[in-house]
Structure 1
Amino acid sequence: MKKQYISKEDLAKACTLDLFTYFKHYYPDELVKKSRNVYVTKMHDSLNIKTNGLWYWWSHGIGGRSAFKYLRDVEGMDWQVAASYLLRLMDEIPVPEVKHIEPKRKFVLPKKNQNENTIKEYLVNQRYINEDLVESCIMKNLIYEDQKTHAIVFVGYDVNYYPKFACMRSTDSKWKKDCLGSDKRYSFSIHNEKSTNLHVFESAIDLLSFITILKMKGEKIWNQNYLSIDGATGLGADINDGNIPVALDYFLRNNEIRNIYLHLDNDEAGKNTTTKIKHVLKKKYKIYDRTPKHGKDVNDELIQYIQKEKEIKKWN
């Protein structure tokens, strides 16, 4: 194909076409379904393409999102040839515009209190979460204190760091709830895009408890992914129906994860969810069951760990 001048604007337009849409819209016969949200091609069976457009060529260790990068890095096209080719396709057979449905209830974060004294006291002194970790989460706007109830607000963000989810946890009772309009796909998480490890928890407090344990052991805490799935119910009774928590499903579709560590509660709901996730995802990921051996959940595990450490210091 003859090279032609490509302006910055045209190059930017060519790069907007993701690889899944490229194959689905222009060459559907090349796609081979591998799992629920992953496809390969007839030519490259180690080229995984997710339905969100992300792709990774495992045999060569390269990946991306755009069809332009695929044509250049996998098919070996010159960048000008690849860009002009995509522009011609997009002009001749435009990709239908996807209409996004707005949520029925507008999501609005609860008003923030002037300080975080109540939640600091609760998390550090009652839940034994590391104080520096709490301060860090406050600075990153991951948690804050609700002005009206003084409950903890745990916030979840989209890829542009725009809040899409929030759940509240009382500091003086068992009361807890999701805020109206919250999108569970963006449940509370701490993200490291360079890591292929994901630790999964039922609650945000369990997530912070596990990081506290790692910190107490002197391990690095910011080099992995941590996700709260906001509970362990609603998956359906049939283990073969393919349903997994929506937050986990969304995180896996949008990140390159290889190892999943399940730290769900040591009760019937938690164990059933662990079994379900392992069954559905066992062919795609290495999955490790890290159900707490002592206590109901990871926070119980943290408290017992701290008590044990105090006993050791007492006798030394």
Structure 2
Amino acid sequence: MSRFVIAPLDVVKIRLQLQHHALSPTFTLLNPSTLLNPTVTVTPNGPVYHGILPTLRTIIHQEGITGLWKGNIPAELLYLTYGAVQFLVFRQISRLISKTGYDVPDPLKNAVAGASAGAIATTVTYPCDLLRTRFASQGTEKIYSSILSSIRQIYTSEGPTGFFRGLSAGIIGIVPYMGIFFCTYESTRNFLHRTNLSHGTTDAFSGTFAAVIAKTGVFPLDLIRKRLQVQGPTRGLYIHRNIPVYNGIWKTARKTVSREGWRGLYRGLTVALLKAAPASAATMWTFETTMRVLKWKDGVED
């Protein structure tokens, strides 16, 4: 339900992340290859999005209301599978660290367990993430007509590795993200538990605060991952027809900064925070509440 509600914001975020040109009908790029014509003016082949609400209106106008839920099916599969793997691995690794006998501080234990859980969950569910991005990047012209056809098409034209484009950026990004998230979440939650706030309010606020801190810290890697995910033979067929060729994390980062400046690495951050904060709050509140119910049912004290 959380995923369905925030799906429009996710589509907006992906569209903004893939928009590599300046926010104007035409934009100018430096052309150092010639001194006679040092700049070149380019007209983008595709819509130019300005902000969250205008982007929502543009998508509805051009693609209909259903355009806001493009990629929702693979995204639902991603969220369900990712959540299951993430929390299972997090709890198991936390227990293993506790059983070593070493006095590991809770923030460090949570950071290690969170980073490990994020890396494993990202790898397992990455094909769903890639499909989500590609479906959300489609305009009125259909590249993939269904989940099964997209799987067959990618496997035929790009091979098995096609489902893992940008995985390295995902791993590099998710490890610090989950480490920062769980470390911040547990620290904030433990601090707030000493106040008079209820458990539900504490869990929700801690999840929101942790999501904002973690997402902001690693957002450039999320943008790089999205731009790498749409590479391949269909690169020129998405809503932004002029997506450049990107190869590797550092080359993508350098090309993005050279074309768009440092702010280009943070395209879509505002909508990402609007999307991530309530989703994380709901996720962590539900998780902690369910854990308390299960412990109460089994007669286990927290």
Question: Could you tell me the TM-score, scaled by structure 2's length?
Answer: 0.28
Highest relative contact order (Cα 8 Å, sep 6+), 1 or 2?
2
Of structures 1 and 2, the larger Rg is shown by 1
Question: Could you tell me the TM-score, scaled by structure 1's length?
Answer: 0.27
Higher relative strand content: 1
